Structure 1
Amino acid sequence: MKKLEKFKFEKLLIWQKAMTFGESINNISKDFPEIEKFNLSSQIRRASDSIALNIAEGSIGQSNPEQIKFMGYAIRSLAEVITCLHKCILRKYITQEQFETLYEMSFRLMNMMIAFQKTLKK
């Protein structure tokens, strides 16, 4: 199947990385205990999805100040995910290896988003 990229945000590497990151988070959250179904599991999925959603929303016909604002929301959502990952490792819902992989993905994505946000301010 041919990949469609008709929207501006689909061409953004940060959006593509955020989409991949969100799916990685979704996959690990499937193994959380039932007690977390409406708590941590839901929270980490919503926060990780919010990253790509805010990148997309900010890029559609928005001025640079508006896009900067939505990028800020995406960065805050990523910080929320990182905090959830710390909760996950403390509660032993994920392995140290999973934590380190997702933490590194988070760090790279955060740096990309901050760099992109800075280019919008010029």
Structure 2
Amino acid sequence: MKDSILLEKSDELAHLVYSLTRHFPKEELYGLTSQLRRAALSVPLNIVEGFARQGDRSFKQFLLISYGSLKETKYLLNFSFKEGWITKEDYKTMIALAEEVGKILWAVIVKVKEKINS
């Protein structure tokens, strides 16, 4: 059950990032805008790829990559907020969703690690 919620929430985050970055400065299209979009999209993409792999070790590796991409997304959202490209309200919404995704993702990682070690 956590797996489907994880995918749903990480997909929501990626879509919100895409929507939010449509209003970023045009000169950032190939810079920060692209990097933030790639990082946010990498979260659900690595979860999906992990589900498709055979074996818990491989699944765990893709979940860890996803977690790293989530951390990158959060940093870039913070950077964008400090640059004045996103409002405080949008920033709080995005970070809250990213935190929720992070908690669920970490719980799944722990579950997979326990399965590997048992």
TM-score (norm 1): 0.89
Distance in 2 between residues matched to 1:100 and 1:93, nearest whole Å: 13
Distance in 2 between residues matched to 1:79 and 1:62, nearest whole Å: 26
CA apart distance, 1:35: 1.1
Distance in 2 between residues matched to 1:62 and 1:113, nearest whole Å: 19
CA apart distance, 1:12: 1.8
Q: Could you say which residue in structure 2 is the equivalent of 1:78?
A: 70
Q: Could you say which residue in structure 2 is the equivalent of 1:57?
A: 49
Q: 5+ residue gaps in structure 1? A: 1-10
CA RMSD of aligned residues (A): 1.0
| Percentage identity across paired residues of the two chains | 25
Q: Could you say which residue in structure 2 is the equivalent of 1:46?
A: 38
CA apart distance, 1:15: 1.0
Q: Could you say which residue in structure 2 is the equivalent of 1:6?
A: none
Q: Could you say which residue in structure 1 is the equivalent of 2:87?
A: 95
CA apart distance, 1:16: 1.2
Q: Could you say which residue in structure 2 is the equivalent of 1:23?
A: 15
Q: Which runs of 4 or more aligned residues in structure 1 lie more than 4 Å from their structure 2 counterparts after TM superposition? A: none
Distance in 2 between residues matched to 1:98 and 1:70, nearest whole Å: 28
Q: 5+ residue gaps in structure 2? A: none
CA apart distance, 1:61: 3.4
1:104 to 87, 93, 96: 96
Task: Considering fraction of residues, name the structure with more helix.
Answer: 2
CA apart distance, 1:13: 1.5
The answer to whether residue 13 in structure 2 is matched with residue 35 in structure 1 is no
CA apart distance, 1:62: 2.2
Q: Which amino acid aligns with 2:83?
A: R
